[in-house]
Amino acid sequence: MDSYLSLTPMNPSTFSRRKFVRGATFSVIGFPYVSLLTSAACAAEDEARKLGFALVGLGGLSTGQLAPALQKTKYCRLAAIVTGTPSKIPVWKDRYKISDKNVYNYDTMEQMADNPDIDVVYVVTPNALHAEHTLKAAKAGKHVLCEKPMDVSVKKCQQMIDALKKADRMLAIGYRCQFDPNHLECRRLATEKVFGELKVIEGGFSRPITANEWRVKKELAGGGPLMDVGIYALQTCRFTSAREPVEVTARFGPVTEPDKFKEVEQSVEWEMTFPGGLKTKCRTNYERGGDNAFTVTAEHGTFGLNPAYNYNFARGTRSDGVSINLPSVNQFAAEMDDFAQCIMNKKTSKVSGEEGLRDVTIMMAIYESARSGKPVKLA
């Protein structure tokens, strides 16, 4: 049986044991020592009920965001690591108290099948390796949370969906902004038509990169800034409007650093047409000082976020003077807790594999249009 099933809140034996331990805490009020022991037992039991996550790829995102976020989650814990760099192992073992049996490399990942401590594999490797690592996790019988973009081709994304389905496990994609209250507020303003019918969504996301990153290699990245950060602007258009584009037109920008951008684009702009007359205009590049914002124009006003895509922080304004300023959350912790709850309650994630596949399909159409100079229809 899966370890997560035995940890489900519905599991009667777990539930009655927890009730008993908590009851014992009440009956000994006035006996601080016993009370301390029982609350320690409760804390240990709460910890054991969390789903065990294995981080695959210990680079910038895992180190700077995901491992720290896993210390803040309610339903998840960092149980294991997968790395191809042996020098990282002692540092991670020491910092996060990871036992030897929970350390893997990319070739031994499938042995996770014998490790009930791991429920979810979080794939955080370069884009074009996502399918390979997801397929290994599925073979080991684990649920998979995979970073964006899902992978670099429609075919590989479909293979990921099929593999998880065959393994009877769940798949979700790391769209952190879908868990941010300020992004959710923009979706509410759009879908409840607070400013009337949507007319235009305009925005972008950009960042600088160095010349020696995997991000400039087509084989590992699949593409340039579109696959890396432009995907956020694309997601905003789909998520905020809750609609799907029917046509896309795109063009590549000029290459001002030819030594760096030999294999992937330096910049791209694209327009999408949505049902109901909504048009969107997006851009992305790998340059310093680019966009990190979006504006929605509706019949009777505008709203949007700026900054929109910082880790764990977004703020915005509305044309009626009201701020969009809901308290920030740790987006990664919220995303992982949501997936854990989906697994526990057997509910499909809102950031499912199908959602990831949709973005990759549209990005392929954007590239096709930029190459051909013609609009591309989306089914």
Active site residues: 148, 232
Q: Indicate which single residue of 7, 51, 53, 57 sits in contact with ligand NAD (rule: CB under 6 A).
A: 57
Query: Which residue number, 145 or 324, has a Cβ lying nearer to ligand NAD?
Result: 145
Binding to ligand NAD (CB under 6 A): which residues in 205-234?
Answer: 214, 220, 228
Q: How far is the CB of 341 from ligand NAD (least distance, A)?
A: 19
| Residue 126 engages ligand NAD in binding (rule: CB under 6 A) | yes
Q: How far is the CB of 268 from ligand NAD (least distance, A)?
A: 16
Contacts 24+ apart (CB under 8 A), 15-18: 17/45, 18/42, 18/45
Q: Indicate which single residue of 176, 183, 283, 318 sits in contact with ligand NAD (rule: CB under 6 A).
A: 176
Residues contacting ligand NAD: total by CB under 6 A? 19
CA distance 142 to 152: 22
Phi, psi angles (nearest 5°) of residue 145: -110, 125
Q: How far is the CB of 130 from ligand NAD (least distance, A)?
A: 7
Residue 342 neighbours by CB under 8 Å, 6+ apart = 170, 172, 348, 349
Q: Which pair of structure tokens corresponds to residue 284?
A: 């992305």
Q: Indicate which single residue of 148, 156, 243, 358 sits in contact with ligand NAD (rule: CB under 6 A).
A: 148
Q: How far is the CB of 213 from ligand NAD (least distance, A)?
A: 6
Q: How far is the CB of 278 from ligand NAD (least distance, A)?
A: 26
Q: Which stretch binds ligand NAD (CB under 6 A): 109-117, 120-128, 317-325, 338-346?
A: 120-128
Query: Which residue number, 222 or 316, has a Cβ lying nearer to ligand NAD?
Result: 222
Query: Which residue number, 229 or 278, has a Cβ lying nearer to ligand NAD?
Result: 229
**Closest CB to ligand NAD: residue number:** 59
Q: How far is the CB of 346 from ligand NAD (least distance, A)?
A: 25
Query: Which residue number, 180 or 228, has a Cβ lying nearer to ligand NAD?
Result: 228
| Residue 174 engages ligand NAD in binding (rule: CB under 6 A) | yes
Q: How far is the CB of 316 from ligand NAD (least distance, A)?
A: 19
Q: Which stretch binds ligand NAD (CB under 6 A): 4-12, 26-34, 51-59, 136-144?
A: 51-59
- Identify the burial level of 144 via C-beta atoms within 10 angstroms of its C-beta, where 0-12 means exposed, 13-18 middle and 19 or more buried: buried
| Residue 127 engages ligand NAD in binding (rule: CB under 6 A) | yes
Query: Which residue number, 186 or 376, has a Cβ lying nearer to ligand NAD?
Result: 186
CA distance 126 to 370: 24
Q: Which stretch binds ligand NAD (CB under 6 A): 73-81, 124-132, 154-162, 203-211?
A: 124-132
Q: Which pair of structure tokens corresponds to residue 159?
A: 């293979």
Handedness of CA 269, 274, 277, 278 (dihedral sign): negative
Q: How far is the CB of 243 from ligand NAD (least distance, A)?
A: 23
Q: Indicate which single residue of 7, 77, 119, 147 sits in contact with ligand NAD (rule: CB under 6 A).
A: 147
Residue 258 neighbours by CB under 8 Å, 6+ apart = none
Per-residue interface string for the shown chain with ligand NAD, residues 58-97, x marking contact by CB under 6 A:
xxxx----------------------xx------------
Query: Which residue number, 102 or 297, has a Cβ lying nearer to ligand NAD?
Result: 102
Q: Indicate which single residue of 73, 102, 125, 206 sits in contact with ligand NAD (rule: CB under 6 A).
A: 125
Binding site for ligand NAD (CB under 6 A): 57-61, 84-85, 124-127, 129, 147-148, 174, 176, 214, 220, 228
